Amino acid sequence: MQPALLRYLRVITAEPEDVAGETWIQVVTGLRRFRGGEQDFRAWLFAIARNRAADAGRSRHRRPVVPLDMTEAAQHPTTADAADQALEAVSTQAAMELIKSLPREQAEIIMLRVVAGLDAGDVAKIVGKTPGAVRVAAHRGLRRLAGQVAQAGVTL
């Protein structure tokens, strides 16, 4: 799960490696209290990671967590360079950059759904929203990504 965790943290924090380490330490210390299956462990792991990322952001005052709504996100269009780079290489890093260009909430929800493999209910618990709101945000983020693909004129 470390690759998925690291990719998720790369989207939501500026110090993904440090936050990943803190996350695993907390997992180890709290593992005895954990009850559940693999899916529950995934949700627990990424919830810890999100909290640790928020702590890191608050402590360093670098990247305060400010959710952006769709209106604000529309005012910050993705650069063509990022889309082109991602679609040309179709590499993980380029795709990550493309997702990071999304509004933070959408990017985070897409990462939790796709990379972490969580369903809408688990993601809703992590981000503190309803499953319906999570679904809407994920759809909007995917449409935005698809629009960037269409803007780049790439056909696969």
Q: What residues line the site for other proteins (CB under 8 A)?
A: 2-4, 6-7, 17, 21, 24, 28, 32, 86-87, 90-93, 95-96, 98-99, 110-111, 113-115, 117, 135, 138-139, 142-143, 145-147, 149-150, 154-156
Residues 6+ apart with CB under 8 A from 107: 11, 12, 99, 100, 101, 141
Rg (CA), the chain: 16
Instruction: Pick between residue 58 and residue 132 the one whose CB is nearest to other proteins.
Output: 132
Could you give the CA distance from residue 131 to residue 81 in angstroms, rounded to a whole number?
A: 33
Q: Considering the complex, what minimum distance in angstroms separates the CB of residue 58 from other proteins?
A: 25
Instruction: Pick between residue 66 and residue 71 the one whose CB is nearest to other proteins.
Output: 71
Instruction: Pick between residue 61 and residue 97 the one whose CB is nearest to other proteins.
Output: 97
- DSSP states of 129-151 as a string? S-HHHHHHHHHHHHHHHHHHHHH
Q: Considering the complex, what minimum distance in angstroms separates the CB of residue 64 from other proteins?
A: 25
Q: Considering the complex, what minimum distance in angstroms separates the CB of residue 148 from other proteins?
A: 9
